Chain A
Amino acid sequence: MSKDKEYYFNKNDLKQFGNITEFQEQMGKDYFKWYGNVMAEGALTKREKALIALAVAHAIQCPYCIDAYSSDCLSQGSDEEQMMEAVHVAAAIKAGTTLVYGVQMMNHVKEKSM
C-alpha cells in the first residue's frame, strides 16, 4: 500500500477534488458550476461568503475546507480577528444546538418524574 493511502484526510486529495467528474461527469460538472455561482460576488460579497464557508468548515470539521477557506478568507481581505470570530459563531451555534436539546431532556425528565 502506498504511503498516500495509509491515512484518511490526505492533504493531496484536495488537489484532486476536480477529478470527481471521473465517475459521474455531468453531476460533477453541474456541481462545480453551481459552486462557482454560489461563491461569486452577489448580494453577499465574496469576503462574506468565504467567512461563512470558514464557519461551516469548522462546524463540519472538514480539514480540507479549513485550509481552503482560511486561504480564501485571507485572499478576500479578512483578518485574523474576523476569521476567529467566524469560528466562534460556528462554535456558539453548535454549542447552542447541543444545549437546546437540554429542553427535550428536561421535558422528558419532568414527564417521567413525580
Chain B
Amino acid sequence: MAIHQKSKSLTSRGNELSSTFYQLEVLNGHEAIEAKFPRFDEKVGNLGFKPLIASGIEIFQINIGKLCNQTCSHCHVDAGPDRKEEQMSRTDLEKCLAIIAATPTINTVDITGGAPEMNANFRWFVEEVSKMGKKVINRCNLTIIVANHKYLDLPEFFAKHNVNVVSSLPYYSKNRTDAQRGDGVFEDSIKALQMLNAVGYGKEGTGLELDLVYNPTGAFLPGSQVSLEGQFKSQLKRRYDVEFNNLFCITNLPISRFLEYLLESNNYEEYMQQLVDAFNPTTVNGLMCRNTISVSWDGYLYDCDFNQMLDLKVDAENSRHLDDFDLESLNNRTIILNQHCYGCTAGAGSSCGGSIE
C-alpha cells in the first residue's frame, strides 16, 4: 500500500518554525520577560553540573541526510521527500571513517536521518564501518524496506553486516501509528518487520538485534518502558507474529514539527509544564549528550541530534566540523543546554537508547 502523507516539511511550507532561531525564541519566550519555565541550565547547575561536561565519545552518531519517504507529524528533523539536497557526501563520509578508525573510544556508530538508506553511499558506508568491528546502529523507519524494489533486500544486507536495526513504531495498531506517521505506514511497517524476522532479526539465538522505538502519539509522556515493552511484545506476536528485542521509550522533544503540533493544538504550555514537573535529577548523569557526538549531513558537530536540529553547535570552538575534529577538546566540552533538554530529563529520562533509568 502506498503511504499517504498528511503534511509536508516545515521547510517546504515556508513555516516560520523552519527557522531554528524562531524555535529557540519560542522555547525561551520571545522576550526574556515572557519566559515561563525555569531555565534548564540553571536547574541542572543547581545539582552541581555547572556546567555539564561531556564524559568522552563512545557513540558517533551521523545524521546522513534529511531525505525521507515519510513526513511524520512529530519529526524533529523536519525530514521528508522534499529534502533532497541535504545528503552527506562521500567525501564527508570518508572523513567520518577516518575519525572512527582513529578513535578507539568510539564503540558504536549510530546512523540516522531522514531515511538513512536513501543516501546513495549508505551501503558502502555500513560495509566500511562493519569492517572496523564497531557496532553499527541503523535507525530505519521500516517502510523504506518496502518503498521500492531496490530496498527489498535491506534485511539481508543488515543481517550480513550484523547491523542493530532500531525502528519506530508508535503503537501496535493502525490508527495511532498512521495518525503520527502517515496513512498506510502501519501496514508497511508490519510487512517490513515480518521480513526482518524472516532473516532472523529479533529471534532468539541469532544475535541479530531489532529494537523498536515508542514515542507518544500526542502531547503526553511515555509510560513505563518495561510495561510498554511487555504489551508490545505480546500484542505484536499475537496479532502479527512479529518479534523484536527491546522497546525504547523516547519522549518527544518540543522542537521542529512536534513543536508545531504543540503550538497548533494549544498544548505547548501544558506539555512544557509536564516536562518541567517531571524533571528527574537522577537522569542527568546518563544524558546521551555526555558520551555522544552528533554529525550533521554537512559535517558540523553537535552534542546530540536535537541540538543539531536547533543548530546549536558544540562548544569546542576549534572543533566544530569534521575537518577540525579534535578529540581532546570534544572530550571535555561543555554541553550546550536549552529548554528543549527538559524532554531528556522527564520521568525515567529519554535518550536514543530509550529510558535512562
Contacts and interface: CB of A to CB of B under 8 A. Distances in A.
Interface of A: 15, 41, 45-47, 71-72, 74-77, 79-80
B176 interface: yes
A77 B227 contact: yes
A42 B154 CA distance: 41
A41 B226 contact: yes
B227 A45 contact: yes
B216 A75 contact: yes
B227 A46 contact: yes
Given A74-B218, A74-B220, A79-B176, A47 B226 contact: no
Contacts of A72: 223
B221 interface: yes
B41 to A, nearest CB: 24
A75 B175 contact: no
Given A76-B227, A79-B171, 15 more contacts: A41-B224, A45-B230, A46-B227, A47-B227, A71-B220, A72-B223, A74-B218, A75-B222, A76-B223, A77-B171, A77-B223, A77-B228, A79-B173, A79-B175, A79-B176
Contacts of A45: 227, 230-231
Contacts of B214: 77
B220 to A, nearest CB: 5
A77 B220 contact: no
Interface residues of B, number: 19
Residue picked from B171, B175, B227, B230, most chain A C-beta under 10 Å? B227
Interface in B147-199: 171, 173, 175-176
Contacts of A47: 223, 227, 231
Contacts of B171: 77, 79
Nearest to A76: B223
Contacts of B220: 71, 74-75
A46 B216 CA distance: 16
Nearest to A50: B223
B227 A41 contact: yes
B216 to A, nearest CB: 7
A71 B176 CA distance: 15
Nearest to B273: A15
Nearest to A18: B277
25 contacts: A15-B273, A41-B224, A41-B226, A41-B227, A46-B224, A46-B227, A47-B223, A47-B231, A72-B223, A74-B218, A74-B220, A75-B220, A75-B221, A75-B223, A76-B223, A76-B224, A76-B227, A77-B171, A77-B214, A77-B228, A77-B231, A79-B171, A79-B173, A79-B176, A80-B175
B216 A74 contact: yes
A74 B227 CA distance: 13
A96 to B, nearest CB: 30
A37 to B, nearest CB: 15
Nearest to B171: A79
Contacts of B231: 45, 47, 77
